[in-house]
Amino acid sequence: MTWKKYWTDTTDDMERPLTEHISFDRPCYNLRDYEMNGGYQALRKALTLSPENITNIVQASDLKGRGGAGFNTGMKWSFVPMNGDYPVKYLIANADEMEPGTFKDRMLMEGNPHQLIEGMIISAFAIQANISYIFLRWAYKKAGRLLKHAMDEAYAAGYLGKNILGTGYNLEMYLHTGVGRYICGEETALLNALEGKRATPRAKPPFPQVSGLFGKPTIVNNVETLCNIPHIINNGPEWFKSLGKGNDAGTKIYGVSGRVKKPGLWELPMGVSMRELIEDCAGGMANGYGFRGALPGGASTDFLVKEHLDISLDFKSVAVAGSRLGTGTMIILDDHTCPVGFVHNLEHFFAQESCGWCTPCREGLPWTEKILLSIERGEGKPEDLNLLETHTRFLGPGNTFCALAPGAMEPLQSALKYFREDFERHIDQKKCPWR
């Protein structure tokens, strides 16, 4: 199989051609390009269907959320009340892509902003939302410019606003730039931020589908999830399911960062193996470096190691292996990098990004980070390893208000499992052996 590479450009120069993006002959910056490639045909088709029919199609396609949770998208939509008692509903694109190692949504928004907008309009119609937001990460300046331009074009063409394409359906769309907090990736913290409040998670229930933004029914979907919607409507659920290789339907944008020969992003069938992704797509490890492990779905996932190279990268298979698919963007740990320093860097990030709402996360993450720093400096004690393991349990699922701290514990608990001798060497030698 020949893999298609989607992205390697990392500049913020809007004038530079993005030659590696090949979902179209060239990036679809503007409406004319997008329509020439079939853009907005799915919207025209969707507007001839009932909202319930669209939801059923998406549910039948088994499209799972591409933001990390992996919940069936159509089923999530089905929880929105459709009895006419709510004159205002909201559809929100979560573009607050702050997971370390993750940059797939940036590629989608910069390479083809109209694809996201069309997916949002169809999704909003399915739940009968009349207001939509793109909650964008503050650092994505180029994506913001392109999205704003694309939204203006969509309004001018009658795809947004009042009486869309003469159907009587109305939808307003707004671009909201976040101030840059990792917690805003959690959907209820995102809703609080949109309301102008402190970005802290909310208790569930009630769930956002019933009581979300300003107390109204709300759906929050990831950018990649929404970008799949036009293609499912155009081609049908069976077509989408046929694209997957195993347990899950469709394709996935997988990424690899770290010391490989060709880091980047690729759209591949759901269920491609780790080995195929690293060796066939990323070209294998960089010269002089060996593979020790990888975080398969961004920073808040457990390490997988050499014995896992042939597992399928789908939600179920990765979970059975002891990790999570997450965002599908892999961070490589090579044999020249200190695992303790690697994990300390991640825990430093998570400790900084704790919203402070619950005590285990607010106090436990900085404590964990300080222990790791002392070990990295050669000041650690043997009992520190037991203390770290205690933290992985006390900050684990069910003990905190949201998933930030449990996610932060995943790389740590798996590093203690697979690379414990590296921690012990730091303590025994009273220094980092990798320096």
> How much is the pLDDT for 15?
38
Mean predicted confidence (pLDDT) in 134-154: 96
Rg of the chain over all Cα atoms, to the nearest angstrom:
22
> How much is the pLDDT for 27?
64
CA distances from residue 104 to 67, 253, 398 in whole angstroms, order as listed = 10, 7, 29
More confident residue, 335 or 8: 335
**pLDDT tens digits, 239-293:** 999 999 988 999 999 999 999 999 999 999 999 999 999 999 999 999 999 999 9
Mean predicted confidence (pLDDT) in 381-405: 95
Cis peptide before 17 (omega within 30 of 0): no
pLDDT tops 80 at residue 10 = no
Residue 219 CB partners (closer than 8 Å, separation 6+): 76, 77, 80, 90, 91, 92, 123, 127, 129, 208, 209, 212
User: Other CB atoms closer than 10 Å to residue 161's CB: what's the count?
Assistant: 14
- In three-state secondary structure terms, 60 is helix
Nearest Cα neighbor of 258 from 292, 222, 215, 308 is 292
How far apart (Å, rounded) are the C-alpha atoms in residues 214 and 216? 6
Cis peptide before 366 (omega within 30 of 0): no
**pLDDT tens digits, 64-88:** 999 888 899 999 999 999 988 899 9
Q: How wide is the angle at C-alpha 253 spanned by C-alphas 249 and 256, nearest 5°?
A: 130
pTM: 0.91
> How much is the pLDDT for 7?
38
pLDDT tops 50 at residue 9 = no
How far apart (Å, rounded) are the C-alpha atoms in residues 267 and 270? 9
Res. 322 pLDDT band, cuts 50 70 90: very high
Mean predicted confidence (pLDDT) in 45-61: 98
E strand or H helix that includes residue 93: strand 90-95
Domains of the chain: 23-242 (3.40.50.11540), 251-334 (3.10.20.600), 339-429 (1.20.1440.230)
> How much is the pLDDT for 263?
96
DSSP 69: T
**pLDDT tens digits, 85-132:** 899 999 999 999 999 999 999 999 999 999 999 999 999 999 999 999
DSSP 397: T
How far apart (Å, rounded) are the C-alpha atoms in residues 181 and 195? 15
- Name the residue type at position 262: K
Mean predicted confidence (pLDDT) in 38-46: 97
More confident residue, 9 or 380: 380
Q: 52-61, 174-183, 227-236, 300-309: lowest mean pLDDT where?
A: 174-183
- Joined together, the tokens standing for residue 86 give 């709510």
Q: How far is CA 87 from the centre of its chain?
A: 30
pLDDT tops 50 at residue 334 = yes
- Joined together, the tokens standing for residue 18 give 């993005």
Nearest Cα neighbor of 365 from 321, 307, 287, 300 is 300
> How much is the pLDDT for 26?
54
Q: Which residues pair with 171 in a beta bridge?
A: 161
- Dihedral of alpha carbons 19, 21, 22, 27, sign: negative
Mean predicted confidence (pLDDT) in 164-184: 95
pLDDT tops 70 at residue 406 = yes
Res. 3 pLDDT band, cuts 50 70 90: very low
Res. 332 pLDDT band, cuts 50 70 90: very high
- Joined together, the tokens standing for residue 345 give 């860097």
